Structure 1
Amino acid sequence: MDYQNIKFEVDAGIARLTLNRPDKLNSFTAAMHMEVREAIEKVKADASVRVLVLTGAGRGFCAGQDLADRAVAPGGAPADLGESVQNYYGPLVLSLRSLPIPVICAVNGVAAGAGANLALAADIVIASRSASFVEAFCRLGLIPDTGGTYFLPRLVGTARAMGLAMLGDKLSAEQAESWGLIWKCVDDEMFSDEVDKLARHFAAAPTKGLARTKQAIYASPQNSLAQQLDLERDFMRELGYSQDYREGVTAFMEKRAPNFKGE
């Protein structure tokens, strides 16, 4: 596919998906949604891919929805924003959460509105020190969509979630790390190297075990302790038969680095 709004490449087990509308701070249009969806389908279909890195081109990660793409003219018919969430943002969040590989979001600049919550849908969020997060929905009389009302209270608690959602203040990457909203904040000059290091780590890791770890952690809020213990039992039983587990034990006994195949 000839992409106009994103960049997509796969190399050495690492898929890189870059939102590429830098002049618009990588804000989403329907066309960009379709290209992102196509790229994620390619990731799902490619068994060689063991990690996905999602980032933005230019000085920002993503400013959310491009309002010009669904502008409401004075006196015009209102836009059905629920349709946008149902057809685009909701499926995008679910597709990232259900990928059986780690998803890294590399927040290289401002992440606002749907862009902020898209970042939080990733498994690991790493941000440059100059990056920031803004739940800008309240400025338009809206609610934090793209999973915002789900992610925020679970990550930072109700009080901070309410403040972020109802005030729309900018949260620095450093503060986001301190609050537990993201995994890590790194200096700008080290950002690219840190992202590459993390991607290479996951590309050589036991992918199936990471997929089940991801699945188990995301299931835990809905499960009782007994249900979660049953899930852990089932996953451990499955993974105990995997080639990567055998390789990990063998490498440990032989005092060498493991050569995981993601199987």
Structure 2
Amino acid sequence: MSEVKAAEFVEADGVATIRLNRPGLTRGAKEELLAAVRQAAESTTARAVLFLGSDKAFCLGQDLAEHAQILSETPDQALTTVREHYNKIVLGLEEIQVPVVVGIGGACVGAGMGFALAGDVRVAARKAKFGTAFTGIGLASDSGLAYRLVSSLGQARAMELMLLGTVFGAERARELGLVTEVVDDQDWEKRARELAVQLASGPTAAFVAAKREVRSAAEGQMELPELLEEEAELQNQLGVTADHVGAVKAFLNKQKPTFTGQ
């Protein structure tokens, strides 16, 4: 029997699935996860991405046993992994243009929380736990966590979560807007997959454009006139797509539109 990989990639029916099987990230796990993320980003046929952990945990961040060994043997190399792996994984997730649904079945802390917030829609089991974790081991954050928290919650709330490192549950995460849906423990993967399938059957070009608009607005790099111009350009592009033309015809005929992603 072949050994289960720490991270896997599979694509079927327009949904590319990244599955992280190992909650604590060793060097090998990070390399496998990076490869899976790159496959998802480079896919020309995926219309949605589903990013899953295990039922026990989505991701716990760095494997501290391996980290302690590296600190003991080659301390100057202990955190080169941030540039070598974590930054590349986060940038790879950012490069995915289609919608990304994240399924969180258990603990989601540290770098794992940064990875989860890099997705677009998050479904969590009621038993899931969240926390920034980094200051608890004497580190600042990585994996884009501070960036995502400030973008999602604002500076004050992000500072609270980063400094206090409080662990909180799925319902609190939903109240904060960090989680889209909270479902019964046995249903988190099923519901996440349902949403991914739903998005994969939608107007893909419109979803890609919507992600671009939201990111432009959230990052604050454009003034309103620039954002309006970007919207106008995207609408010009979308207005001639088969999905838009077909959806307008379906609406006028009181029918439900069928989207092909074109």
**Structure 2 length as normaliser, TM-score?**
0.91
State the Cα deviation string for residues 39-77 of structure 1 (Å, max 9, x = none).
Answer: 233323432211111111231111001123332567644
2:189 corresponds to 1:181: no
- CA–CA distance in structure 2, aligned partners of residues 190 and 206 of structure 1: 26
- CA–CA distance in structure 2, aligned partners of residues 111 and 105 of structure 1: 11
| Partner residue in 2 for 1:8 | 9
| Partner residue in 2 for 1:217 | 214
State the Cα deviation string for residues 109-156 of structure 1 (Å, max 9, x = none).
Answer: 000110111101111111111101111100111112101110112212
2:47 to 30, 47, 50: 50
- CA–CA distance in structure 1, aligned partners of residues 197 and 249 of structure 2: 22
| Partner residue in 2 for 1:236 | 235
Runs of 4+ off more than 3 Å: 72-77, 79-82
CA contact (8 A) 1:111 1:131 kept: yes
Question: Structure 1 residues 3 and 247, CA, compared in 2 at 3 Å: closer, same or farther?
Answer: farther
**Same amino acid, percent of matched pairs:** 32
Between stretches 224-233 and 247-256, larger displacement belongs to: 247-256
Shift of 1:246: 1.2
Considering only aligned residues, what root-mean-square deviation do their CA atoms show, in Å? Answer: 1.9
Point out where structure 1 has 5 or more consecutive residues left out of the alignment.
Answer: none
- CA–CA distance in structure 1, aligned partners of residues 78 and 118 of structure 2: 20
2:114 corresponds to 1:117: yes
CA contact (8 A) 2:70 2:77 kept: no
| Partner residue in 2 for 1:249 | 248
CA contact (8 A) 2:90 2:118 kept: yes
How many residue pairs align between the two structures?
A: 258
Structure 2 residue matching 1:71: 3-state secondary structure:
helix
Shift of 1:78: 1.7
- CA–CA distance in structure 2, aligned partners of residues 131 and 89 of structure 1: 22
| Partner residue in 1 for 2:145 | 148
State the Cα deviation string for residues 155-205 of structure 1 (Å, max 9, x = none).
Answer: 122222112111111011100110112222222233233212211110101
- CA–CA distance in structure 1, aligned partners of residues 83 and 196 of structure 2: 31
State the Cα deviation string for residues 74-123 of structure 1 (Å, max 9, x = none).
Answer: 76442445532222111211211221110111111000110111101111
Structure 1 residue matching 2:25: 3-state secondary structure:
coil
Structure 2 residue matching 1:54: 3-state secondary structure:
strand
| Partner residue in 2 for 1:203 | 200
State the Cα deviation string for residues 27-49 of structure 1 (Å, max 9, x = none).
Answer: 21222222222223332343221
2:189 corresponds to 1:192: yes
Question: Structure 1 residues 249 and 144, CA, compared in 2 at 3 Å: closer, same or farther?
Answer: same
Between stretches 208-217 and 74-83, larger displacement belongs to: 74-83
Q: Which amino acid aligns with 1:114?
A: A
Point out where structure 2 has 5 or more consecutive residues left out of the alignment.
Answer: none
| Partner residue in 2 for 1:87 | 84
Structure 2 residue matching 1:41: 3-state secondary structure:
helix
CA contact (8 A) 2:41 2:93 kept: no
CA contact (8 A) 1:70 1:79 kept: no
Structure 2 residue matching 1:262: 3-state secondary structure:
coil
1:40 to 34, 37, 41: 37
- CA–CA distance in structure 1, aligned partners of residues 82 and 204 of structure 2: 31
**Structure 1 length as normaliser, TM-score?**
0.91
